[in-house]
């Protein structure tokens, strides 16, 4: 089965809506790929939903490479995008290129995502020139949460909204094959989508982007520490999982698990010899 590529995704603009889901390990990669998702983001959001951090700032490049490689082993078709974590690209263009290259050479990802616009245009150009497709990310960029003063929507006034449009156009010009728009007003996302020639992928940006991205654990209802406004839970597996484990604990307690179908037995002749050997030991 042919895997989707960054040019394949770019060509979908204006053809149909694009689906993107985060995944952080082999089974989640298998599941979203089997469902038919176009892109899988191995996101630094794993810091919160998998590693239990308060935000994404503690996630390391080693963390990202470890999880991206695991996801890749379960994926046959979707384009895997590796998320460059905090301080893996900001300090220098050279560092950005080196770490972007690690995703492709070490994990099986075939594109990277980085947060921010104007300050990182040179980084984007250099990564693209090195042969690595780049997905941009503007609006609410969680790695800059300290500067924003929390997880707050961006582009809510005319001046900041206009700046986001300019930033998106600059990222397109720098070579991004797609751009994530996170937590920006619907009208702003609509205008950016109309003006850029590459796909926009929305998260909390309304219905008029070229595609949508959600976190795997949010879709399945597995994470409830906080639930952003833009999340829709398509299942409630956390509650079901707790009940399943409670059922397991109860059956262990009353002795009904494991049942005979859950374990093996020795053949009669072997059992007889085994008992004889034990008697010899005594």
What string of DSSP letters covers 26-38?
A: HHHHHHHHHHT-S
Catalytic: which of 98, 182, 243, 282? 182
**Exposure of 39 by Cβ count < 10 A (0-12 exposed, 13-18 middle, 19+ buried)?**
buried
To the query of whether residue 182 is one of the catalytic residues in this protein, the response is: yes
Asked if the peptide bond before residue 258 counts as cis, ω within 30 degrees of 0, the response is yes
| Separation of alpha carbons 49 and 215, rounded Å | 9
| Separation of alpha carbons 18 and 10, rounded Å | 10
> Tokens standing for 169?
């156009």
The neighbouring-strand residues paired with 192 are none
Q: Are 133 and 161 in contact (CB under 8 A)?
A: no
Q: Annotated catalytic sites, by residue?
A: 182
């Amino acid at each position: 089965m042919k895997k989707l590529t960054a040019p394949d995704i770019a060509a979908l603009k204006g053809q149909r809506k694009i689906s993107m889901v985060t995944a952080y390990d082999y089974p989640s990669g298998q599941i979203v790929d089997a469902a038919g998702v176009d892109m899988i983001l191995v996101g630094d959001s794993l810091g919160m939903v998998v590693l239990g951090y308060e935000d994404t700032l503690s996630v390391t490049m080693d963390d990202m490479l470890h999880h991206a490689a695991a996801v890749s082993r379960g994926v046959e078709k979707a384009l895997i995008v590796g998320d460059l974590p905090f301080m893996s690209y900001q300090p220098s263009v050279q560092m950005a290129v080196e770490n972007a290259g690690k995703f492709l050479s070490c994990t099986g990802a075939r594109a990277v995502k980085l947060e921010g616009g104007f300050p990182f245009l040179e980084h984007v150009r250099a990564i693209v020139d090195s042969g690595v497709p780049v997905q941009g990310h503007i609006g609410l960029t969680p790695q800059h949460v300290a500067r924003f003063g929390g997880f707050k929507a961006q582009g809510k006034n005319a001046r900041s909204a206009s700046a986001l449009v300019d930033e998106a156009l600059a990222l397109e010009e720098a070579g991004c094959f797609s751009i994530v728009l996170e937590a920006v007003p619907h009208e702003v996302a609509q205008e950016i989508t109309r003006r850029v020639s590459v796909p926009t992928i929305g998260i909390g940006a309304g219905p008029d982007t070229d595609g949508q991205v959600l976190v795997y654990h949010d879709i399945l209802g597995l994470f409830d520490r906080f639930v952003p406004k833009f999340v829709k839970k398509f299942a409630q597996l956390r509650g079901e999982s707790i009940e399943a484990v409670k059922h397991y604990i109860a059956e262990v307690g009353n002795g009904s698990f494991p049942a005979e179908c859950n374990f093996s037995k020795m053949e009669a002749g072997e059992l007889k010899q085994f008992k004889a050997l034990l008697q010899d030991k005594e």
